[in-house]
Amino acid sequence: MTSNSTNEAFEPETPATINEPRLWRDKGWTARVIKNQDDDGWAVEMILDGEPEPALVGPWTMGRDKKNPKPLDSSAFSTLVKTASEVLRRSEQHAHAMLHKSLSINTDDGRIDVNLDIVPDEDDPYAVLSARNAAGEQLAQVRVGPEFKFSIANATAWIEADFRRPGGD
């Protein structure tokens, strides 16, 4: 091994920046102006590096000749990156909300936060039901089947049953 070797072989390859009228690549994003399949107009798609599908597809403005698309520019690209990032953020929040549910139950011993974390496994879907006291200390955690209905009544019944697995032992 020579003393002038570098770590270049171990660094991930970063896609080159491209600034063309119909294709921009920068900041981990690619904007591509494409022919709109539904009509004579144009659309723009925003793809996050490494993702197979666009995060955002939307209409794109026609140029002055009313035939070709308006060229991409720095300002438009920045706006598209911001919009596409927001779409991804909201999608992630929605997915999180669908898989993670929580309730607070007031008991004689104080507030208990009950959470249901769904594991969407194709072969063996299940959820984890857990309880924490007001100080954040875990009181119980059990695995429940996909048929478990997360509600105030069922969470209260679980607490009152000393956290025995619902529908189980």
Mean pLDDT computed over 15-38: 91
Residue among 20, 69, 24, 65 nearest 43 (CA): 69
Query: Is 63 among the domain residues?
Result: yes
Q: Of 50 and 37, which is predicted with more confidence?
A: 50
70 and 132 in a single domain? The answer is no
Considering the domain architecture, whether residues 93 and 112 belong to the same structural domain is answered as no
The answer to whether the beta carbons of residues 138 and 132 sit under 8 Å apart is: yes
pLDDT value, residue 165: 87
Q: Same domain, yes or no, for 36 and 93?
A: yes
Cα–Cα distance, 127 to 115 (Å, whole number): 10
The pLDDT score that the predictor gives to residue 110 is: 93
93-139 pLDDT, tens per residue? 998 888 999 999 999 989 999 999 999 888 999 999 999 999 999 99
State the pTM of this model: 0.64
Reported in sequence order, the residue ranges of 88-125 that DSSP labels E, i.e. its strands, are 100-107, 110-119
Assess whether 35 and 81 both reside in one domain.
Answer: yes
Whether residue 167 is contained in a domain is answered as no
Q: How big is the CA angle at 96 (ends 162 and 128), to the nearest 5 degrees?
A: 25
Q: Check whether 2 has a pLDDT greater than 60.
A: no
Residues 115 and 152 in one domain: yes
- Give me the pLDDT at residue 169, please: 47
Count structural domains, the chain. Answer: 2
Residues 88 and 34 reside in one and the same domain: yes
Within a domain: 6: no
- For residue 15, give every residue at least 6 positions away whose Cβ sits within 8 Å of its Cβ, in sequence order, or none: 25, 30, 49
pLDDT over 70, % of the chain: 91
Is 5 inside a domain boundary? no
Together in a domain, 91 and 113: no
Same domain, 22 and 82: yes
Of 112, 148, 162, the residue nearest 133 (C-alpha): 112
